[in-house]
Amino acid sequence: MNIPTPHIGVSEQGVIAKTVLMPGDPLRAKFIADTFLENPVQFNHVRGMLGFTGTYNGKKISVMGSGMGMPSIGIYSFELFEFYGVENIIRIGSCGAYTDELELYDVILATDAYSESAYAKVQSGSEDDVMLPSPELNEKLEGFAKELEIELHKCRIHSNDVFYNGQEGYFEMVRDKHGCKAVEMESFALFANAKTTGKKAACLLTVSDSLVTHKVTTAEERQNAFTEMMKIALEMAE
C-alpha cells in the first residue's frame, strides 16, 4: 500500500517518529503535544484522530489517538507499523480495576493481555488468547518509572470487546479464571499487530474506575492524574 494510508494523511516518511505514544482519546494526544512537546507539529486530522510529532528533552517522539476498542487501535497501529516505519507503540490509556488491590490513579504496566477477541485469529490465524508486550520496552518503562519515582503495578490485563456487559458475574469470572486485574479495550490487538509486523508494543494504564468499589474519576481529574503515566512514556523519546 502506498502512503498516505486510508486513515493517516501523511504522504512522506520521517514525519512520524519511530516511537508513538497512543492514548485512546485524540484530544488527550493534543493535550500531551501542547503540554509536553517542544515544537509540536500536527500530522493527522483524518476522522479527527489527531497526531503530533515534536521533541521531548530534545528527542523526537510522536503522539496520536487510537480511538476506542480493538478494531480502531488495530487499524491505526497496523498502518503506523507497516507503512510509516514506526518501531515502538506505547499505549497510554485508562482502565477499570477488577480488584480492590488497585486504587484510582494507580499506574499499571501490562505484563500480558487476555482477550476473548477474535482479532489475532482473524488477523494472523493465532489461536492464542493471551498476547504479550515487548519485554525490552517493558524493561525500559520500568526503569523510567523508577527514575521518576512513580510506582508501577505489573499485572495481566483484560482487553474487553464489550463495555456495557449485561451478564452478571462476568468480570469476576475473567478475573478469577484468567488472572486479569484490570480491564481496557485495546492492548490485545496492539500486541497482536506488533507480533505480526515484527515491531514492539507496550501498555501503561491509569486506573480511572473500579468495578469493585464503583469509584470513578471525573474527566478533569483524569486530565491531571494521567500526567504521571505520560511522563514515564515520554522518556521513550529518542
Task: Tell me which residue of 60, 73, 64 sits closest to 117, measured CA to CA.
Answer: 73
Residues within window 128-187 making contact with ligand HPA, judged by CB under 6 A: 160, 163, 183-185
- Check 112, 129, 161, 209 and give the catalytic one: 209
Residue 209 annotated in active site = yes
Q: Are strands 19-22 and 130-131 parallel, antiparallel or unpaired?
A: unpaired
CB-based closest residue to ligand HPA:
96
Cell of 224: 491531571
217 interacts with ligand HPA by CB under 6 A: no
238: number of Cβ within 10 Å: 12
Contact between 112 and 154 (Cβ < 8 Å): no
Task: Tell me which residue of 233, 228, 213 sits closest to 106, measured CA to CA.
Answer: 228
Residue 59 C-beta: closest distance to ligand HPA, Å: 30
94 interacts with ligand HPA by CB under 6 A: yes
65 interacts with ligand HPA by CB under 6 A: no
96 interacts with ligand HPA by CB under 6 A: yes
Residue 144 C-beta: closest distance to ligand HPA, Å: 23
For residue 4, whether the previous peptide bond is cis, meaning omega lies within 30 degrees of 0, is: yes
Nearer to ligand HPA, 79 or 184 (CB): 184
Nearer to ligand HPA, 50 or 102 (CB): 102
> Between the CA of residue 55 and those of 156, 181, 192, 210, what are the distances in Å?
31, 34, 28, 35
Residue 26 C-beta: closest distance to ligand HPA, Å: 16
Please report, as ranges, the residues that interact with ligand HPA according to CB under 6 A. Answer: 94-96, 160, 163, 183-185, 208-209, 211
Catalytic residues: 209
